Amino acid sequence: MSLPNILRRAFFGAVLGSLALLPAVAAPADEQYFPLQSYRVGPYAAGGTGFFGGFIDYLNLIDIRDGGVNGVKLTWDECETQYEVERGVECYKRQKSHAGIAAWNPLSVGIAYAMIDDVTADKAPLITINHGRTDSTDGRVFKYVFPLLLNPYSETSGIVNYIAAREGGQDKLKGKKLVVLYHGSPYGKETIPIYQLLAEKYGFSLEQIEVPHPGNEQQSQWLTIRRAKPDYVILRGWGVMNPVALKTAQKVGFPVDHIIGNVWSNSEEDVIPAGDAAKGYTAITTQASGAEYPVLQEIVKTVYGAGKGNLEDKKRIGSVYHNLGIVNGILNVEAVRIAQEKFGHRTLTGDEVRWGFEHLKLDPARVEALGAKGLFHSINVSLANHEGEGRVTFQQWDGAKWKVVSDWIAPDWALLRPIIEKSSLAYAKEHSLPVRDPAVEEATN
Amino acid sequence: MSDIAIKTGRRSLPGLSPQAFGVAALLAIAFGVVPLVGSEYLFDALLTPFLVLSLAGLGLNLLTGYTGQVSLGSSAFMAVGAYAACNLAFRLPGLPFLVDLVAAGVIAAAVGLVFGLPSLRLRGFYLAVSTLAAQFFVQWVFNKIGWFSNDSASGIVTPPPLSIAGIAVTSPVGRYLFTLSVVVAVTALVWRLVRSPTGSALIAVRDHETAARVIGIPVLRTKLLAFAVSSFVIGIAGVLWAFAYLRNVEPAGFNLDRSFQILFIVIIGGLASLRGAFLGAALIVIFPLGLARLGDALLGGLFDSGVLEMSQRVVLGLLIIVFLIAEPAGLSALVDRMTRRITPWITPWITAGRA
């Protein structure tokens, strides 16, 4: 055999060999993709980096430790939104062409509102954990939208219940004065009517004061508060507004232990910049902070040990936003796992993952099995209830770390449900959407 | 001298000057080719916002570029247009959308007229500061008074679906074509206006108020007219923003940043030039997204999205400085210079094609 012949054979052999390999390359392994509309720059970067850092860390844990969910690898990419609606919409259009989308998690009320029509048309779930449009709790109307764990109304009810407990019972609220200091954004304004409703129900007087976005100047608002002399100030802030509020409160002499933070005013990033002024400040949360939970230990060992950790500053591991990202990761991954049990261990469509979210039931035993006992309580999502009866707890800042100061408290869902349904049914009528009947759908599914 | 010769040369070939030829070709592509080949991303994320902000830039250019009145309240007038159209659609559901569109423009013009009153006394920076009042006042009103946002708790208004003459426009292509048609129609009107004696009056007021008054131009009326027409155009842009692009309205979407964005579009694109608004919008709206996608594709695996975002801002800022140093009169003048070089080469081709 001459040399050219050998070369020719080698060449054809290589061609044939690569042809044989082609199908393996062309058919991708099963993957489930998470489009992340994250924000790592801009005024809300602290929340964005912590939350998306935790989310990515948990997805990484599942990939590295378990090789994905039942062999289906989890993938993701990030698109920077800067918490701006137009950017979020652009990211949505950019990322939606990717195959195998599991769920959208924009972590912005404005962006979520702008996506509701599109996700409904594209049949993909939209997760707004601990925030979002309250009436989307009614899954009969908002089929693809999930304000998981805690919608703004439940949060409000939880805070008022906590204040009542501190005062010695709900009848003690009568005649008390509460001020709500809220962020001048759709997120901040969402709870205005529900505070009014609770004020009427329990007989406390109420003043709601707006802080314009981003909230780095609050002198006049706190002077108003000083004049009003309320018993409690509820801080419904976001980003830089929170430390500024605590510092200004100190300046005008309002006692910090009578300021109660809401679920987006409860992080280390909110209190550390305020220094001494934050000592004794209490805030609501759905997930405890700290890195002692087994799932966090595994993330530290497996993910950060492999050099794949997402947080640049390792001190933030176990912080409130990081833990919220991890809880969000758990809920997303478990929804995929639950849907896989019904539809098969493969890449699922968005609509199938939506079914998974609608059957996302994690009791305290399952939460413990996931290594998250004490990190969050439980969740019980159904077709009609897209929030899932999340419990809340309260933690107090001691100057170095958060300390839990209450049990897991249940908001007053029965009181809130009729208001939610009134609003969602009005939305259904305005947009001529069908109202799903849980009994009928569960029978056919 | 040669410049004048070229210009008169153009006049002698009405409708088929290289410029008109270019515009016709662009329109043919925008209406005929793009809808067939474009993707949802192209329409919803690039072209529609580009067209809407071009229109807003065009409106501001009437005021700032042609009449010389600096305004920092553009996004307030967009907000007025958007909210007016939403409220008209909610409260008078019988009205056809095109009537809403024009009425919203007229309402924006009326508001613009009110906020234009200080221009009778103030100039330059002082006027710019007084237009800031419009910016803050309008945003505050929409935030504070629930009636405007249909009493929605969060302040976000979802406008009813776009429908023209009974036909629902729900696809991205449909929204793009609708936006394009409105932008072309309004641009044509503005083009007529700036070529009319009124247009010359605007420029006369800009160049020398006293001289304009001496030759008999009613300066006050001209200024107010500029404010009204400019706000009308920007208001229409606001309606398109609300109905064809975001399909969601909230006061924070029309903040001072947006006003600055529109002002930069005009300055970078070229003052007193219709084309400038479109060129400026392309640089401000489309170019950063292109850069973002390029950065993502090349370096996405190496850095996180925050680092990429920051470096893109640096690149964009540098480019803007380079552009403005190379041609302080804006991109439009840059294109002019280029076409002046190319025209002698192309004109024979066109005339040959005609013959």
Query: Pairing between strand B163-164 and B167-168?
Result: antiparallel
Contact partners, residue B189, CB within 8 Å, separation at least 6: none
Disruptive mutation site among B156, B256, B257, B299 for chain A (greatest number of A CBs within 10 Å):
B156
Residue of A nearest to B252 (CA): A185
pLDDT at B79 over 80: yes
For an interface test with B, which of A81, A93, A96 has the most B Cβ atoms less than 10 Å from its Cβ?
A93
How far apart are the C-alpha atoms of B51 and B237, rounded to whole Å? 9
SS (H, E, C) chain A: CCHHHHHHHHHHHHHHHHHHHHHHHHCCCCEEEEEEEECCCCCCHHHHHHHHHHHHHHHHHHHHHHCCECCEEEEEEEEECCCCHHHHHHHHHHHCCCCCECCECCCCHHHHHHHHHHHHHHCCCEECCCCCCHHHHECCCCCCEECCCCCHHHHHHHHHHHHHHHHCCHHHHCCCEEEEEEEECHHHHCCHHHHHHHHHHHCCEEEEEEEECCCCCCHHHHHHHHHHCCCEEEEECCCCHHHHHHHHHHHHCCCHHHEEECCCCCCHHHHHHHHHHHCCCEEEECCCCCCCCHHHHHHHHHHHCCCCCCCCCHHHCCCHHHHHHHHHHHHHHHHHHHHHHHHCCCCCCHHHHHHHHHCCEECHHHHHHCCCECCECCEECCCCECCCCCCEEEEEECCCCEEECCCCECCCHHHHHHHHHHHHHHHHHHCCCCCCCHHHHHHHC
**Rounded average pLDDT over A350-364:** 96
Residue B218 has pLDDT above 50, yes or no: yes
- Please give the residue that has the higher pLDDT: either A384 or B93: A384
Nearest-CA distance from B332 to chain A in Å? Answer: 27
Mean pLDDT for B240-269 is 91
Chain-chain contact of B252 with A110 (C-beta, under 8 angstroms): yes
Residue of A nearest to B155 (CA): A186
Residue range A364-383: average pLDDT? 95
Q: What mean pLDDT is predicted for residues A133-145?
A: 95
B324 domain residue, yes or no? no
Residue B291 identity:
L
Every domain of chain A and the residues it spans:
31-151+290-390+419-444, 153-286+396-416
Architecture of A31-151+290-390+419-444 per CATH?
A: 3-Layer(aba) Sandwich (3.40)
Cβ contact B40–A93 (<8 Å)? yes
Q: What is the tens place of the pLDDT at every residue in A264-309?
A: 999 999 999 999 999 999 999 999 999 999 999 999 999 999 999 9
**Structural domain range at position B137:** 24-256
Longest Cα–Cα distance in chain A: 103
| pLDDT the model gives residue A24 | 40
- The residue of chain B with its CA nearest to that of A190 is B154
Chain A residues closer than 8 Å to B252 by CB: 110, 184-186, 213
Tokens 């040990």 -> residue: A305
CATH topology match: A31-151+290-390+419-444 vs A153-286+396-416: yes
Grade residue A158 by pLDDT with cuts at 50, 70 and 90: very high
Q: Is the ipTM of this complex over 0.90?
A: no
With cut-offs at 50, 70 and 90, classify the pLDDT of residue B144: confident
Which among A41, A86, A96 has CB closest to B306?
Answer: A41
The chain B residue lying nearest A87, using CA atoms, is B45
**Token pair in block for residue B205:** 């007021």
**Which residues from A are below 8 Å from B310, CB to CB?**
41
In angstroms, the separation between the Cα of residue B257 and the nearest Cα of chain A is: 11
Nearest CA-CA distance, residue B13 and chain A, Å = 43
CB contact under 8 A, A90 and B289: yes
Interface mutation target, options B142, B305, B316, chain A, most CBs of A under 10 Å: B305
Minimal-distance CA residue of chain A relative to B90: A430
Of residues B107 and B156, which shows the higher confidence score? B107
Whether the pLDDT of residue A17 is over 90: the answer is: no
- The verdict on a CB contact (< 8 Å) between B250 and A186 is yes
Whether the pLDDT of residue A393 is over 60: the answer is yes
For domain A153-286+396-416, the question of CATH label 3.30.360.10 is answered with no
Mean pLDDT along residues B87-111: 94
What are A232-254's pLDDT values in tens digits? 999 999 989 999 999 999 999 99
How many independent structural domains does chain B possess? 1
Q: What is the CA radius of gyration of chain B?
A: 21
User: Which range, of A258-267, A396-405, B85-94, B150-159, averages the lowest pLDDT?
Assistant: B150-159
**Per-residue pLDDT band at B351 (split at 50, 70, 90):** low
Task: Collect all residues of chain A within an 8 Å Cβ-Cβ radius of residue B156.
Answer: 110, 113, 186
* CA proximity to A107, closest of A47, A155, A161, A169: A47
Size of interface A-B (CB pairs under 8 A): 86
pLDDT of residue B352 exceeding 80: no
Which residues of chain B are at the A interface, by a Cβ-Cβ cutoff of 8 Å? Answer: 39-41, 44-45, 49, 143, 153-156, 158, 160, 246-248, 250, 252-253, 289, 292-293, 296, 300, 304-310
| Cβ proximity of A326 and A60 under 8 Å | no
| B303 falls within a domain | no
**Residue B86 pLDDT exceeds 60:** yes
Q: Do A85 and B253 touch (CB under 8 A)?
A: yes
Distance from CA of A41 to the nearest CA of B (A): 6
Minimal CA separation from B98 to chain A, in Å: 21
Considering only the beta carbons, identify the residue of A93, A184, A186 that sits closest to B44. Answer: A93
Q: What is the pLDDT of residue A6?
A: 56
Q: Give the pLDDT of residue A198.
A: 94
More confident residue, A421 or B153: A421
Q: Looking at the domain assignment, is residue B127 inside a domain? A: yes
